[in-house]
Amino acid sequence: MLQNLFWPGVGHFDYAMQRFHESGMKDKVHDLVVNKKVPVVGVCVGMQMMAKGSDEGSLPGLGWIDAYVHKFDVSQVSAKLPLPHMGWNDIQIIRNTPLLKDLEENPRYYFLHSYYFRCHDPKDAIAKTSYGIDFTSAVNHDNIFGAQFHPEKSHHFGIQLLKNFAEKC
């Protein structure tokens, strides 16, 4: 019996969506996540694919979360921050869920992205991070979880998050 799904991601939104469509797994995965409620966690572009679409491309996203992915507009932030947002940054937990359970105070994760996830329903955002603007860095809607950061590169903070997903979600 399938326990949960891990949706990794590195790369460009349209390329990832196209490869997923070409894989022949789209309908099966959609059925598992949407109908059978198998827990899934998306990482970086894996999370972004769960939105309705992205400024990074023209293909529609999966639409599992009512959200859209926007490009950082560094001209609008005071610090003139470089893109991509790369390196360690804090997350601020907005809503505690099983994915974020038992994290140390002030958890830090490794980020590498130029686009950010904007939830249309604020209840779907479970953590935020500041990079010139506050953006959603983790989401949860029913059995669907996502992290803009890379837990696999985030030492003990990431290990705890992945352990939470495997054991509690």
At 33-68, the pLDDT tens digits run 999 999 999 999 999 999 999 999 999 999 999 999
Residue whose structure tokens are 């992945």:
162
The answer, yes or no, to whether residue 77 has pLDDT greater than 80, is: no
Q: How far is 46 from 113, CA to CA, in rounded Å?
A: 12
Task: Count Cα neighbours of 67 within 13 Å in the Cβ-side half-sphere.
Answer: 29
Q: How far is 93 from 72, CA to CA, in rounded Å?
A: 21
Query: Would you say residue 28 lies in a domain?
Result: no
Q: Report the pLDDT value the prediction gives residue 49, as an integer from 0 to 100.
A: 97
Number of domains in the chain: 1
pLDDT tens track for 80-133 = 788 999 999 999 999 989 999 989 888 999 999 999 999 999 999 999 999 989
Q: Report the pLDDT value the prediction gives residue 2, as an integer from 0 to 100.
A: 63
Q: Report the pLDDT value the prediction gives residue 64, as an integer from 0 to 100.
A: 97
Q: Is 152 a known active-site residue?
A: yes
- Among 85, 113, 141, 150, the one annotated catalytic: 150
Task: Please report, rounded to a whole number, the percentage of residues in the chain having pLDDT higher than 90.
Answer: 82
Query: What CATH number corresponds to the domain at position 162?
Result: 3.40.50.880
- Among 12, 44, 113, 155, the one annotated catalytic: 44
pTM to 2 decimal places: 0.93
- Among 12, 70, 119, 152, the one annotated catalytic: 152
Q: Is 22 a known active-site residue?
A: no
Query: Would you say residue 15 lies in a domain?
Result: no
Q: Is 44 a known active-site residue?
A: yes
Query: Would you say residue 64 lies in a domain?
Result: yes
Query: Would you say residue 68 lies in a domain?
Result: yes
Q: Report the pLDDT value the prediction gives residue 88, as an integer from 0 to 100.
A: 97
Domain that holds residue 66: 6-10+39-72+83-168
Buried b (16+ CB within 10 A) or exposed e, 104-143: eeebbbbbebebbbebeeeebbbbbbebbeebbbbbbbeb
Q: Report the pLDDT value the prediction gives residue 105, as an integer from 0 to 100.
A: 86
Q: Which residues pair with 67 in a beta bridge?
A: 119
1 vs 146 pLDDT, higher one: 146
Query: Would you say residue 109 lies in a domain?
Result: yes
With CA atoms as reference, report the closest residue to 148 among 124, 107, 108, 112.
112
